[in-house]
Amino acid sequence: MPELPEVTTTVTGLNEVLVGLSITDVWTDYYIRTANKRTDTIKNKKYFEKFKREVVGTKFNNAERRGKNVLIHLSGNKTILIHMKMTGHLLYGKYTLSPTGVWKSEEKLLSDSFNQFIHLIFTLSNGKHLAFSDMRKFAKVILFETSKRADVVDLAGLGPEPLDDLPFPTFTSKLNTKKSGKIKSVLMDQSVIAGVGNIYSDEILWASSVHPERRVSSLTASERKKIWAAMKKILVAGINLGGDSMSDYRNIHGERGGFQNSHKAYRRTGKKCLKTGCSGITTRKVIGSRSAHFCNIHQV
* 43, 66, 68, 268: the active-site residue: 68
* 2, 5, 162, 212: the active-site residue: 2
Phi/psi zone of residue 226: left (φ > 0), alpha (ψ -120 to 50 degrees), beta?
alpha
Task: Judge whether 68 counts as a catalytic residue.
Answer: yes
User: What does the H/E/C string look like for the chain?
Assistant: CCCHHHHHHHHHHHHHHCCCCEEEEEEECHHHHCCCCCCCCCCCHHHHHHHHHHHCCCEEEEEEEECCEEEEEECCCEEEEEECCCCEEEEEECCEECCCCCEECCCCHHHCHHHCCEEEEEEECCCCEEEEEECCCCCEEEEEEHHHHHHCHHHHCCCCCCCCCCCHHHHHHHHHHHCCCEHHHHHHCCCCCCCCCHHHHHHHHHHHCCCCCCEHHHCCHHHHHHHHHHHHHHHHHHHHCCCCCCCCCCCCCCCCCCHHHHCCCCCCCCCECCCCCCCCEEEEEEECCEEEEEECCCCC
* 3, 6, 184, 250: the active-site residue: 3
* 37, 85, 232, 290: the active-site residue: 290
Tell me the C-alpha distance between 206 and 90, whole Å: 30
Task: Judge whether 256 counts as a catalytic residue.
Answer: no
Task: Judge whether 2 counts as a catalytic residue.
Answer: yes
Residues recognised as catalytic: 2-3, 68, 290
